[in-house]
Amino acid sequence: MDSPQLLLPVPRNLLLSESVYALPSQALLVISHSSLLFEAQSLQSAISQFANLNWDIVAGTNYPNIGVELRLDDSQTHPEGYQLSITSSGITVTAKQASGIFYGVCTLNQLLQQYQTQLPCLTIDDWPDFPARGVMLDISRDKVPTLQTILDLVEKLATLKVNQLQLYMEHTFAYRNHPDVWAEATPFTGEDILKLDAYCRQNGVELVPNQNSLGHTERWLKHARYSFGRMPRWLRITLGGHSPPPPSIRSTPAASNSWRCLYDELLPHFTSKLLNVGGDEPWELGKGKSKSEVEARGGRVYLDYITKLHREVTARGHKMQFWGDIIVHYPDLVPELPKDVTAMLWGYARRTIINWTGMVTWSVVTS
């Protein structure tokens, strides 16, 4: 039999034989532990959809007529790796932990979609290159998707073995104390996030909170409520030069205790202990009210701001991520970054070469 036409991601090792496993009309889907029920149900659904067969799920061992066995095995080397074995007598998925079983089931589901009841006999050994495999979706500067759309997306991402999702937010979380900011944005409510977080966990995806905390704050700044007089000096200096709203308004993106009040409301809706604070593209930094400060202190103005955000994040038991597009221009300041922050990079072009120097990343556009 030819090699399977499409397996995504492509497995590391695939050994194909000439034999075929014909799925019987009656068989059992056996799990070694009750904790694997979700993975078994995912496979059961695929068998029903693509092979038009209804197999019962049972737990334990020593059953006759086993069609598929999902088995936890501590001897497996890679925490999220799996082995998928299809022989002429049945199918076995083994892994060290439930996430590996799930990824093996995802691969098996793709085979079922392509071959229905006549599966090629093969052995696949696979494990991920990176522990974090994430997608960030901008839900602030384009149409805000419905909760159901995001739930559907999570399911698709999980089948592709993506294990982290971030929803980029500027003004699209319904902060209870700031309704004027999101009033016309059809935002995600706290209940929406709680439901989404639970669904992500079930699918092996970590939903990471993402609240831009410096640039891209125009939808906050346009409201007169957020006046400079109510903000600490360090925040006024850092944000004071941002894109101005109407001339009569001198504003800043958060009132009463800066971002900490937003973090206090946002973070309890997530089980993740990460927080992406953004911090990217503050185009007006060094202009307007921050001009003299930046002229005197350069990139240290930005570093001090990131450090203050870091204190707020860690005080809430989280680890901070931020975009490295500004700090990359000040390599001499990089050693002063808190050691547990993660500086991240995006590429502005489709083809981007990423280089690493210490904690800094930068991109070279090749086309």
| Residues 340-348: contacts with CB under 8 Å, at least 24 apart | 340/314, 341/306, 341/310, 344/276
pLDDT category of residue 225 using cuts at 50, 70 and 90: confident
> What average pLDDT is seen over the chain?
85
Q: Is residue 349's pLDDT more than 90? A: no
> What is residue 257's predicted lDDT score, i.e. its pLDDT?
54
At 214 the pLDDT is 84
pLDDT band at 143 (very low <50, low <70, confident <90, very high): confident
Helix ranges (H only) for the chain are: 37-51, 98-115, 147-159, 179-182, 190-202, 218-221, 233-239, 260-266, 291-297, 300-315
DSSP at 35: G
Pick the range with the lowest mean pLDDT from 39-43, 180-184, 344-348.
344-348
- Span 341-357, mean pLDDT? 67
At residue 355, the pLDDT reads: 52
Average pLDDT (133-162) is 94
pLDDT at 310 over 80: yes
Give residue 290's pLDDT. Answer: 73
- Three-state secondary structure of 201-257: HHCCCEEECEECCCCCCHHHHCCCCCEHHHCCHHHHHHHCCCCCCCCCCCECCCCCC
DSSP state of 188: B
pLDDT, position 360: 38
Mean pLDDT for 35-60 is 97
Mean pLDDT of the region 194-219: 92
Does residue 115 surpass a pLDDT of 70? Answer: yes
Q: What is the pLDDT of residue 80?
A: 95
- Does the pLDDT value for residue 361 go beyond 60? no
Least confident interval from 109-118, 144-153, 164-173, 244-253:
244-253
pLDDT of 85 higher than 60? yes
Read off the pLDDT band of 164 (50, 70, 90).
very high
Q: What totals of helices (H) and strands (E) does the chain contain, helices first?
A: 10, 15
Check whether 244 has a pLDDT greater than 90: no
**More confidently predicted of 256 and 235:** 235
Q: How confident is the model at residue 232 (pLDDT cuts 50, 70, 90)?
A: very low
Residue 273 contacts residue 317 (beta carbons within 8 Å): yes
pLDDT of the residue at 233 = 47
Please identify which residue in the block is written with the tokens 């592709």: 160
Helix (H) / strand (E) element for 72: namely strand 66-72
* Mean pLDDT value across residues 47-62: 96
**Confidence at 219, pLDDT banded by 50, 70, 90:** confident
The pLDDT of residue 4: 59
The pLDDT of residue 229: 41
Q: Determine the pLDDT at residue 261.
A: 87
Give the type of residue at 283.
W
Strand partners, 87: 90
Structural domain boundaries in the chain: 13-126, 134-365
State percent of the chain over pLDDT 90. Answer: 64
Q: Please identify which residue in the block is written with the tokens 């921050």.
A: 290
**How would CATH label the architecture of 134-365?**
Alpha-Beta Barrel (3.20)
pLDDT at 67: 97
Residue 3 binned pLDDT confidence (cut-offs 50, 70, 90) = low
pLDDT at 84: 98
CATH 3.30.379.10 holds for 13-126: yes
Chain segment 258-303, per-residue pLDDT in tens: 688 899 999 999 999 999 999 888 877 777 767 777 778 878 889 9
- Residue 247: the pLDDT is 29
